[in-house]
Structure 1
Amino acid sequence: MARTLYNRLGELKGITKLVDDVVDLHMSNPTVSPRFVPYMDQPDRLKLIKHHTVHFFCAGAGGPQEYKGRDMVTTHKGMNISEQEYLAVMDDILEAMDKNKYGDEEKKDVLAILYSLKGGVIRL
């Protein structure tokens, strides 16, 4: 039986580590840090955002977690996220995947998911 992306990413534990690493990279990425650094003063809000991100990712990768957050359009509406910001986020995700030693297949599958979400994030 084929393993799901969820399995290949290390299930809940692996995806949680990946999200933590991605957020750390966002905090120091000059293209997107202005959107993330303010959450350093809101640790409960940052924790909730990470929780929703982990569950969104788990559910989308074939895991058993139920995502109970807002949809992508509602979440990003009014943020006017640029193409450059979106690409910077993708770069951070790939860097975190490299750090966590994920293979090319996992990266390809994650990139496919990210590209499928692009229309619900940019310039809303």
Structure 2
Amino acid sequence: MSEQSLHDRLGGIYAITGTVDILVDRLFANAPVDANEGVHAHHGDPANAPGYTFPVTAWSVQAAGGPRCYPGMDMVTAHETLKITDEQFDAVALEISATLNSCEVPTPEHTEFVEIIESYRSEVVEQRPKAA
């Protein structure tokens, strides 16, 4: 018998959707994340939450090995105008981790999902020229 996907071990679409709902509320309330003008366009109005929740849920489902359902852009294209810093990436990663903790996601699945998030750092964080 093959090992279950992370998607299945997280509880599937319903559990992932519930967790993302909590995460989005946390992200909208996160002042350091919202301080970024580009990100603020997503977070500025709480009415935007459902529109933000859908792609984050679809991406999470797909990244965790569930059905291919993410209709959005690749991570580089989706984030290239946002000028996200390492500190802002860390703030989002911390919110993700805290949300997984609050939802009592077991340590192996928590660690695996956080590792997936970290693997996208270079695609999300603005690449700055190195000082000479």
Q: TM-score when scaled to structure 2?
A: 0.84
State the partner residue of 1:120.
123
CA distance in 2, matches of 1:4, 1:83: 29
Query: 1:1-124 residue pairs with structure 2 within 5 A?
Result: 1-34=2-35, 35=40, 36-40=42-46, 43=47, 45-123=48-126
Question: Larger Cα Rg: Structure 1 or Structure 2?
Answer: 2
Structure 1, unaligned runs of 5 or more: none
Greater RCO (CA < 8 Å, at least 6 residues apart): 1
Structure 2, unaligned runs of 5 or more: 128-132
Provide, for residues 2-23 of structure 1, a one-character-per-residue CA deviation record: whole Å limited to 9, x for no partner: 1111011111111111111111
Q: Is the 8 A contact 2:10 2:105 kept in 1?
A: yes
The count of aligned residue pairs is 121
Q: Is the 8 A contact 2:24 2:49 kept in 1?
A: no
CA distance in 1, matches of 2:43, 2:74: 23
4+ runs deviating over 3 angstroms: none
Q: TM-score when scaled to structure 1?
A: 0.89
